[in-house]
Every structure is written in C-alpha cells, then in structure tokens.
Amino acid sequence: MGYIAGGWTVVDSSDPSVAGATPSQWDPRRRYKKGDLIVQNYPGVGSPTIYKATSNSPEGRPLDLYLRATHDLFRNELGHPATSNVIAYSTWAQLGLSFVTAFLILCYQVTGYSYGSLLWTLAANLIASYGILSTALPNYSELESLAHKISG
C-alpha cells in the first residue's frame, strides 16, 4: 500500500488549477516538490495522463494504468472479508450464473429436452454461492458468545 501511495495523483486536464501550468515529462534525476505536474504517455491510450505531486518528495515514477486498476480491485482485501471487492464480484457472478442456469432449465423443460445435468449445475452453483456468502457475513452467534465472555 505504501508503494501505491507514492505521492502522485491523477488530475483532470480540464481542472482550473492545471489549466495554466505546463506539465513536464518524468525525469528520475529531478527532485519534485508538492504541486509539480508531470505527463505520462501510455501506449494504447489516446490522451496522456497528467499527475500532480501530493507530497514534498513523491517517491518514484507515477503508477501506470494497469497497476492502478489492480490496486483499485484489491484495495479492500486486507481487512474483514465483508469489505472484499473480489468476494462481492464473485457473488454477483455466481448469482448471474444461477439465473442463467435457471432460465436454461426452464427453456429445456418447455422444449422437452433432458435438463438433469443443468439441475446439478444449479445445485452446485447454489452451494458455491452459500459458501461465498457465509465467508463474508459475520457469525453473530460467535460474536454474542464473545460479548458474554467479555461482559461477564
């Protein structure tokens, strides 16, 4: 997390505080200070990205778009599982797959095809959904017993 928070933030080029300044290219030998602007060109991205130094001595080169996207995906993964983005996305994927499987079962039933394997797939999907949800939700009986031990 310290590497991700290296002292640079992305600024919008239409921001009024950036309008009069001209950002320079990244130079590893230069000592940057708070408020300095630099520009990064990423291959495959149309317009360059402008970064602003948020500390008096920002550390290293600003992060590329892929590292920043990875950080945004995994930033809540070190705390309680209820704050996990990956578990939330997995739960939505399982729910969507369950609805698609249920729809396919309905279609197969109407057309007269065998849908036994789809029922097993739906059952396995529901078990997986229960497993994901039980991981992220707090265990209230355990918390209650812990509260009784503390209070009494």
* pLDDT (0 to 100) of residue 4: 53
pLDDT averages per 10-residue partition of the chain, 152 residues: 62 72 80 84 74 77 69 72 79 93 96 95 93 77 80 77
Q: Distance between CA atoms of 66 and 40, rounded to whole angstroms?
A: 13
Strand bridging mode 37-40 / 24-25:
parallel
Nearest to 89 by CA among 105, 76, 103: 76
Residues 61-70 as b/e (b if ≥16 CB within 10 A, e otherwise) read: ebbeeeeeee
- Which residues sit opposite 49 in a β-bridge? 40
Find out whether 42 and 64 touch, Cβ atoms under 8 Å: yes
Q: What is the pLDDT of residue 2?
A: 46
Q: pTM for the whole thing?
A: 0.49
Q: Dig out the tokens for 10 from the structure.
A: 């992305």
Give the per-residue pLDDT at 101: 97
User: What's the pLDDT at 63?
Assistant: 66
